[in-house]
Structure 1
Amino acid sequence: MSAGVVIEKAMVEDRDALEALIGRCYAKVYPGWYEADILENALPAMLRIDPKLLESGRYFKAIDDGTIVGCGGWSHATPGTGDKVGATGHVRHFATEPGQMRTGVGSAILERCVSDALDSGMTRLQCFSSLPAEAFYERHGFERVQEVTVMLGESIPFPAILMQRVLV
């Protein structure tokens, strides 16, 4: 990661730039891991950031020389259901600018999320990892729990992996 990269809370007014970044990232990473028809149906739903997440103060952006080069966050509420289960947080909506992948940007955001979750009393984090992101989360102490199908909206199934990291 460049010495000039700063991790900040994302703001509602960052929405368009963040969603465009997520689109570029997923368009680069997902082909080859998912069939074209799955991506055609799933990507439009995956590119939208939950407004509650963006407003929570728990969604972050990485800035390098004035440009957003990464994003990601966490919530106490389970994605899709909004349920809160004990002291379990949920890693959400990570993406890195394709030219900045494997430079530490995603790692810096994830560690900010871990620190923030610990400060909020969470004892573990879970995520619904995409297939290509599993290795990233494993490098950061997450373990595979099981393969799952995440429903995007009411009718779009997306293969993923439920992963978990114990924090304390």
Structure 2
Amino acid sequence: MTEDFHIRPATTADRGAVTALFRRAYPDLLPEFYTAATLRAALPFITTAQPALLECGTYYLAQDEQGRVVGAGGWTDVSPARGVAAPGVGHLRHVAVHPCFLRRGLARRVVECALDSARAFGVARMNCMSTLAARAFYAEMGFSALGEVELTLAPGVHFPAIQMQREL
């Protein structure tokens, strides 16, 4: 049940709270799917909130009754891997939920909020670079796997992911 959660657009003032969420979520949720060496190299890059996402107006936070940020995610028309997308194509970005709040429909609500926003902007297709851990979740949300990719996070730092897509 997620009725005790409020979803709102992120702002740059949320950077610390979003970074704290990522630093709590990803180290807990990814070890079953990635080697320790991959995580040691990748976590410093994927556990820091990106100012451009926080400023874009289409990145959302889920807060609990106490105002704590327990989920995040959104979309942009800029691909995390290849720059600006084609017209009508969006990219789901940096979705995370605090491990204590898993299996309560929170990630689904955040993603649905992002997809509704994207539709309102005229996006007809949404792409996503899923972690290996989130592949099943995105499939349940109607995304199809296009194939495995290796994201370059920094020179010499590569992160396996699944490129996924769905029509809106």
CA distance in 1, matches of 2:78, 2:2: 32
Query: How is 1:78-157 mapped onto 2 (pairs within 5 angstroms)?
Result: 78-157=79-158
Q: Which residue of 1 aligns with 2:37?
A: 37
Report the TM-score when normalising by structure 2.
Answer: 0.96
**Deviation for aligned residue 1:54:** 1.0
After TM superposition, list the pairs within 5 Å mapping 1:30-69 onto structure 2: 30-65=30-65, 66-69=67-70
The TM-score, its normalising length taken from structure 1, stands at 0.96
Q: CA deviation at 1:48?
A: 2.0
Whole-Å separation in 2 of the counterparts to 1:75 and 1:107: 18
**Deviation, structure 1 residue 11:** 1.1
Residue pair 2:14, 2:54 contacting (<8 A) in 1 also? no
Q: Deviations over 1:114-135 (max 9, x none)?
A: 0000000100101110001001
Aligned partners of 2:85 and 2:164: how far apart in 1? 17
- CA shift, 1:10, in A, is 0.9
Please report the RMSD computed on the Cα atoms of aligned residues, expressed in angstroms: 1.0
How many residue pairs get matched?
167
In structure 1, the residue corresponding to 2:27 is in which secondary structure?
A: helix
Q: Does the residue aligned with 2:52 lie in a helix, a strand or coil? A: helix
Q: Does 1:19 align with 2:7?
A: no
Q: What percent of counterpart residues are identical?
A: 39
Shift of 1:85: 1.7
Runs of 4+ in 1 over 4 A off after TM superposition: none
Query: C-alpha distance in 1, partners of 2:113/2:162?
Result: 22
Q: Which amino acid aligns with 1:70?
A: G
How far is 1:61 from its partner? 0.4
Letter in 2 for 1:147: E
Query: Hey, what's the Cα distance between the residues in 1 that align with 2:59 and 2:2?
Result: 21
- Kindly state the Cα deviation for residue 159 of structure 1 after the two structures are TM-superposed: 0.4
- How far the C-alpha of 1:161 sits from its partner, in A, is 0.2
| Pair 1:74 & 2:75 matched | yes
CA drift at 1:139:
0.6
Give me the whole-angstrom Cα distance separating, in 2, the residues matched to 1:3 and 1:18.
21
